[in-house]
Amino acid sequence: MVKKSYLGRIWCFLSLGLLLILMSLALLGCGGAKKEQPKAGDNGTTVKVGIRKDIASLDPAVFGQGGPDPQRYLIYEPLLYMDESFNLKGRLAESWTAEDQGRVWTVKLKEGVRFSDGTPFNAAAVKFSLEYLLKAKRLFWPLERIETPDDYTVKLVFKRPYAVLPYDLTTAEIFSPTSFDPEGKFKAPVGTGPFVFKEWKKDQELIFARNENYWGPKPKVNTVIFKVIPDHQTRAMALQSGEIDIADYLPVAAIREMERTGKFSIYKKPSPCMNWIAFNTYREPFDDVRVRQAVCYAVDVERIVSSVVGREVATPALKGPLSSPAHDYIRKPDLKWYSYDPTRARELLLQAGWKDVDGDGILEKNGKKFQVTLIASTLYEEGRAIAEAVQADLKKVGIAVEVRVLESAARFEALKQRNYDLVELGGICATNDPTPWFSYYFGTQRPEYCVLKNQVVQELVSRLYAAVEPEVRREIFFKLQELLKEQAPGIFLYNQDAVTVAREAVKDFAMEGGMPGSYSYLRVISITN
């Protein structure tokens, strides 16, 4: 009996021990589940983002390739921003109003905001920031002066009406004067944004940490690491292997494969950025509008975009320069753009005096062959392939095209010197207001880059800067689209949509509009590491 009782006690202890072990494992399991729900304030949540090129600088005065580096808008914030539907919203501004037909703008600032080092955000800091950007020629404003009637009011007085100011304010970063040393030299980035700068290894990685004193909703991730991976295919492989969590500008084939696996989420945002090919209208043969129109008819835009670029990342410009959904509010609805029609192209070329005299398939005029050069871009992976597709289409109507691929600096130098026949370009698309883009290439803002010298077009573009009322601006854009259809300054190819691919572990993804919003999802995402 004693032996039996002893064994019973042993069994009881063993059973109790087993129960405690099971309870411990269950608690550990629950603890693990809780770690998969990161919240603002958690430590150790890191997200790695693969980027195609390094930033140029953290100094707000410095432009990157194509504009300000969008990563900077996580440290510095603008007064206004564009939401996911491209509506203007206040970030650091409470309101903005125009007076004197847009010659005077008054901006009321949010109160209670501080920079990441604790210094106050106020009208003096805004004035300092804008004057610094103007001096550095980051902003090209016809500004007369900036007034600060009180700590939270900024008044901008222009020499002439300046209707596009609200859009410009979405890209103008605001920073603390403590970002500079006593001599005025930039030393470190200090902004109001949701992240602060931690480390930068040039051409390798850029590291931001959460701003624990951020005035708005704090990010859910603790650390952001931007890893520089220039090769598109290598970047895709890094995402597939888990080396990074998020990437953009990926090859279409890789996007399709990752979507097929069901282990990745694909996020697509319409973009106002237009990729196009400009004609040199200042010299033969493209000084003849009939030739330009003929080439527009000769290029099968829809086929090129679908087969070369991919509809997953691009929207064909079948409605002209304002084909993006972001431009719905100003696109002329009844305007029919150029469709693929090689027969019409040949008719126009014949009207312009171009004939195949010797039967070799290449047109001639006054003893000169129709041979031109197309300068392709290296900024996009598809630059050469697009140029070669255009080359093939133009060969069908008797135009011989030589493709030359140039780096961005050399390409823009050729544009500036007008040493080209055709050149691949992108639109200026920080916002969904195309005024800067039209002014840059069709207006008088940067005459060295103007590809179409047309007085009526230039006058209409100038009027955009003076038109504050939306209806008036819309009518001007309608007239400009009609004229651009008639004058055919280039072949409008496609809008490069913003496509971001993320691992399943990334949740709560949301992206704001415009270039500054490119990495705005880092404000809100969560991730299970």
- Decide if 237 is inside a domain: yes
Whether 465 and 330 share a structural domain: yes
Residues 375 and 323 in one domain: yes
pLDDT at 447: 85
Question: Strand 195-201 to strand 400-406: parallel, antiparallel, or no bridges (unpaired)?
Answer: unpaired
Neighbour-count burial of 525, counting CB atoms closer than 10 A to its CB (0-12 exposed, 13-18 middle, 19+ buried): buried
The pLDDT score that the predictor gives to residue 41 is 41
What residues have CB less than 8 Å from 322, skipping those under 6 apart?
330, 331, 434, 477, 481
- Same domain? 376 vs 506: no
Same structural domain for residues 422 and 459? yes
Question: CB count, 10 Å around CB of 350?
Answer: 15
C-alpha to C-alpha distance for 498 and 51, rounded to whole angstroms = 13
Where among 147, 179, 211 does a domain terminate?
Answer: 179
Range of the domain at 231: 195-270+498-527
The residue whose two tokens read 């203007």 is 88
Q: Which helix (H) or strand (E) holds 225?
A: strand 223-228
Q: What is the pLDDT of residue 24?
A: 40
429 domain residue, yes or no: yes
CATH at residue 175: 3.40.190.10
C-alpha closest to that of 438 among 394, 484, 395:
484
Residue 6 within a domain: no
Q: Are residues 156 and 200 in the same domain?
A: no
Same domain, 280 and 264: no
Between CA 111 and CA 122 the distance in angstroms is: 8
Cα–Cα distance for residue pair 129/343, rounded to 1 Å? 56
Q: Same domain, yes or no, for 292 and 207?
A: no
Flag whether 28 is in a domain: no
Amino acid at 269: K
What are the strands, taking DSSP E only, across 317-465?
A: 364-365, 368-369, 371-377, 400-406, 422-426
pLDDT per residue of the chain (529 residues) written in tens, 0 to 9: 333 333 343 333 334 343 333 334 333 333 333 333 334 444 459 999 999 999 999 999 998 766 789 999 999 999 999 999 999 999 999 999 999 999 999 999 999 999 999 999 999 999 999 999 999 999 989 999 999 999 999 999 999 999 999 999 999 999 999 999 999 999 999 999 999 999 999 999 999 999 999 999 999 999 999 999 999 999 999 999 999 999 999 989 999 999 999 999 999 988 898 999 999 999 999 999 999 999 999 999 999 999 999 999 999 999 999 999 999 999 999 999 999 999 999 999 999 999 999 999 999 999 999 999 999 998 777 899 999 999 999 999 999 999 999 998 899 899 999 999 999 998 778 899 999 999 989 998 788 889 998 999 999 999 999 999 999 999 999 999 999 999 999 999 999 888 999 999 999 999 999 888 899 999 999 998 6
- 207 in Cβ contact with 223 (< 8 Å): yes
Residue count (the chain): 529
Q: Is residue 33 part of a domain?
A: no
φ and ψ at 163, to 5 degrees?
Answer: -75, -20
Find out whether 139 and 172 touch, Cβ atoms under 8 Å: yes
Tell me, yes or no, whether 469 lies in a domain.
Answer: yes
One domain, residues 249 and 300: no
Q: What is the pLDDT of residue 17?
A: 41
**98, 147: one domain:** yes
pLDDT of residue 66: 63
pLDDT of residue 426: 87
Report yes or no on 244 lying in a domain: yes
In a domain, residue 133? The reply is: yes
Query: In the prediction, which pLDDT does 16 show?
Result: 36
Q: Where does 145-185 have alpha helices with state H?
A: 165-168
For the whole model, what pTM was predicted? 0.85
- The DSSP bridge partners found for residue 210 are 195
Domains: count for the chain: 3
Do 84 and 145 lie in a common domain?
Answer: yes
Q: What share of the chain is helix, strand, coil (3-state, %, to 5)?
A: 35, 25, 40
Q: What is the three-class DSSP state of 32?
A: helix
Helical (H) or strand (E) element with 437: helix 435-442
Domain end position, chosen among 124, 145, 179 = 179
375, 491: one domain: yes
Q: Which one, of 153, 114, 158, lies nearest residue 134 by Cα?
A: 158
Residue 313, domain CATH: 3.10.105.10
Cβ atoms of 349 and 493 closer than 8 Å? no
Find tokens 């544009």 and name the residue.
415
Residue ending a domain, choose from 179, 213, 241: 179
Question: 405 and 278: one domain?
Answer: yes
Looking at residue 424, what is its pLDDT?
96
Contact indicator for 94, 79 with CB cutoff of 8 Å: no
